[in-house]
Amino acid sequence: MLTLIKNTHLYTPEYCGVKDLLLCGEKLVAIGEHLNVTGTQTQEIDAQGLNCMPGLIDQHVHIIGGGGQTGYFSLAPEISLSTLIKCGTTTVVGLLGTDGFVKTLPQLYAKTKALCQDGISAYMLTGFYGLPTPTITSSIAEDMIYLDKCIGCKIAMSDDRSSHPTKLELLRIIQQVRLGGFTSAKGGVMHVHLGALPSKIDLLLEIAKEFPSLISYISPTHMGRTHDLFLQAIEFAKLGGMVDISTGGTKYTDPHLTVMEGLERGININQMTFSSDGNAGVRRKNSETGEDTYKKAPLHKNLEQVVALIKEDGMSPSEAFKLITVNPAKNMKLKSKGRIAEELDADFTLFDDQWQLQEVWARGTRMMHEGTVIKKGNFEE
């Protein structure tokens, strides 16, 4: 079955004017003006007045739940498909946090595959906060080579919950993701959780300066946690690195303001990304009883902060949406994601003129219509 989307204001994310999109199965097969299809069964949808963007990418999500810092009851549950669709997310990268002893990599892989069966695109990172790095096979490289959805490894540093990896240990992880990426043709990435300790990204800067060819394999996240950390992030970006700013976690100011400061200090917009750190456990203390309560960390902040860049900071939509489309695709080396182009996966989102999400399409299937999720996962009511 073919689907023809007519008369949309197309952003790829660059603005291309009013265009029609032709979908066949999971792929986008044609982009043009006044497209017509004859001689076959075609679903035609008029998207006049709507803005079309690539499907959104969230490169840091606890898809099987995070948390667990004050006992078993504080472990967050698995994420639901509809929660991702509500945010316009059509591609997600799942990972473990401090919970890597009771939430395991086989569980993470199974959930990754389940989300793919639900209709979106999902990937995973092996490892977790600590050392030695847990894997499903015998090594990080083999996880990437033999597990179809594994694209890299996670590690934590400059955090009092981390294993405080040395420069040599970080280099050995990079070697594993690099060689695993060679063989699997996935590229490879070492995704680094950053805490608020004074060591910040000192070791990553040392590696980037000593081995410039390795910087594309390093993906530091939570870089807006403190202002001092972000100042180092600016230095890392000027060396050619990518800087990921969490929208739902600890931050020194609103993430959209962090982006604007980065631009003012010389970072190129193409070197910054947003990620949610969503579905981790967020602790709250009941002011009346003093008891700890928990809720899941939000996922909708990525889109919220992009819209703030447009409405509050005057950034063009094509530039602002790079933070959650083409930039994370580049960072995670996902070649078929982040852009709207012929022969790529048919992942896109449709917005009204106020940038309110109206439609979500993932791999050629409509997941949201008129602002309502119409495709839910199993066990969702």
Sign (positive or negative) of CA dihedral 201, 203, 206, 210: negative
Contacts of 47 (CB under 8 A, 6+ apart): 5, 6, 7, 8, 350, 359
Cis peptide before 298, with omega less than 30 degrees from 0?
no
User: pLDDT tens digits for the chain (381 residues)?
Assistant: 799 999 999 999 999 999 999 999 999 999 999 998 876 788 999 999 999 999 999 999 999 998 777 788 888 899 999 999 999 999 999 999 998 899 999 999 999 999 999 999 999 999 999 999 999 999 999 999 999 999 999 999 999 999 999 999 999 999 999 999 999 999 999 999 999 999 999 999 999 999 999 999 999 999 999 999 999 999 999 999 999 999 998 899 999 999 999 999 999 999 999 999 999 887 777 777 777 777 888 999 999 999 999 999 999 999 999 999 999 999 999 999 999 999 999 999 999 999 999 999 999 999 999 999 999 999 998
CA distance 133 to 47: 48
pTM for the complete prediction?
Answer: 0.96
46 catalytic, yes or no?
A: no
Query: How many other β-carbons are positioned within 10 Å of the β-carbon of residue 209?
Result: 11
Catalytic entry in 159, 277, 345, 347: 277
Domains of the chain: 2-53+338-373 (2.30.40.10), 56-332 (3.20.20.140)
